[in-house]
Amino acid sequence: MLPFSASAEGLELAPGLTLTGDVMLQHSVDAYYEYTDIIADLRLFWRPVTDTSFSFGIEASTDSFIGLHEDWSDNGLYAAAVFGFEGYDLRIGAPRPVSDTMALLPPLGAYRYVSLGVETLHGSVVRGNARWDDRFTPGLSLQSNTDGAFAWGLSAHKSSYADQGYRVDVPVVEAVAQYSFGDLTLGAQIVHTRMDDGEADQEYPFAVGVSGTSAMIGMRYAKNGWLLGLAHGKADTGDAEQNFSRVHGSYDFGNGLTLYADLTKADRLYEDDPSGYQVLGAQYRFANGFYLEAGVTHDRGEYTHKTIAAGYKF
């Protein structure tokens, strides 16, 4: 029996202290290799209830990808003091980027390692650099905290990465806006990234150190178990631009079973790059928070990954 009961609000460890997360063990096979990985996204919140318009709390979280097959791990670390005001929250320290906390579409399903690369198209390099270095990323964020139709978020981060013995600072500024009416949500996002030397890294144009401004627009429609999401944008690396589009769809049967499909298309930066991904999968959720998942990811290039996974979401 679980020590805590899982719910949509997470695990209540103590009054005002809540832990939420998604921990998955996945195994993937393609024509050449087998991969076994752990993906963990854990978030701890301490925010005492107050009867005033001002509140104070603390948040800490980790965003981890652990490759058991090769004994390596990438761990992004976040922690921030949260000052709650009427209409918005101010986070100071090392907060998550608003492109993550206000993500319009879910991560790419099935083989989750692929989603690490896709997230830099419709997200930013902040999460990737944090995982790459296993370190905190100083910054601050402002994000609306009301239940109205309009939601917004702003964040600034002093991201960085280490390359060949020296560290390069990568300042990042993000802005996200979303408007909901009925079952439809429209969203727009701008991410500006700059390297100190003003040049993009040629070997890792997205995972480490981009220079330029990226923009994305998208929509999400959810009703009666159906979810449809569309996104289109342009990622600017400073010396190259990459257009991308994504279509996501899923159906929740209401008995724990969900089927999902994803189609992502992107311009090739190099000849051997995949031009996008096709994903088809299914997930079955148990009442206690555990779930099983299976799917196929085709990278529209050379590899087709078959994946099975077991996880716990709370």
- The reported pLDDT for the residue numbered 201 is 45
Token output for 7 = 């719910």
Q: What are phi and psi of 102, to 5 degrees?
A: -120, 30
- The reported pLDDT for the residue numbered 79 is 97
Task: Tell me the CATH number at 249.
Answer: 2.40.160.10
- The reported pLDDT for the residue numbered 170 is 81
- The reported pLDDT for the residue numbered 40 is 94
Whole-Å CA distances, 175 to 124, 237, 274: 11, 18, 29
Does some domain include residue 26? yes
User: Does the pLDDT of residue 259 top 90, yes or no?
Assistant: yes
- 265-285 tens-digit pLDDT: 888 655 556 678 899 999 999
pLDDT confidence band for 56 (50 / 70 / 90)? very high
Residue 116 CB neighbour total at 10 angstroms: 18
Token output for 60 = 């800490």
Does some domain include residue 5? no
User: Does the pLDDT of residue 106 top 70, yes or no?
Assistant: yes
Does some domain include residue 283? yes
Q: Residue 69: give the domain boundaries.
A: 18-313
The dihedral over CA atoms of 308, 128, 251, 312, expressed in degrees to the nearest 10, equals: 50
- The reported pLDDT for the residue numbered 301 is 64
Does some domain include residue 245? yes
- In terms of DSSP H, where are the helices of the chain? 98-101, 112-122, 125-133
- The reported pLDDT for the residue numbered 31 is 78
- The reported pLDDT for the residue numbered 215 is 93
- The reported pLDDT for the residue numbered 233 is 92
- 165-223 tens-digit pLDDT: 667 778 899 999 999 999 999 999 999 887 765 344 444 444 444 478 889 999 999 99
Are β-strands 304-313 and 34-46 bridged in parallel, bridged antiparallel, or unpaired?
Answer: unpaired
Whole-Å CA distances, 182 to 101, 144, 176, 223, 314: 21, 19, 20, 9, 27
| Strands (E) located in 165-210 | 166-181, 184-193
Does some domain include residue 77? yes
pLDDT confidence band for 51 (50 / 70 / 90)? confident
Token output for 227 = 């979810």
- The reported pLDDT for the residue numbered 185 is 97
Does some domain include residue 88? yes
- The reported pLDDT for the residue numbered 200 is 45
- The reported pLDDT for the residue numbered 311 is 96
% residues pLDDT > 90 (the chain):
54
% residues pLDDT > 70 (the chain):
86
Does some domain include residue 199? yes
Q: What are 30-33's contacts with CB under 8 Å, separation 24+?
A: 30/303, 30/304, 30/305, 30/306, 31/303, 31/304, 32/303, 33/69
**Structural domains in the chain (count):** 1
User: Does the pLDDT of residue 3 top 50, yes or no?
Assistant: no
Does some domain include residue 61? yes
Whole-Å CA distances, 301 to 119, 241, 304: 19, 20, 9
Q: Which of 63-67, 117-121, 258-262 has the highest mean pLDDT?
A: 258-262
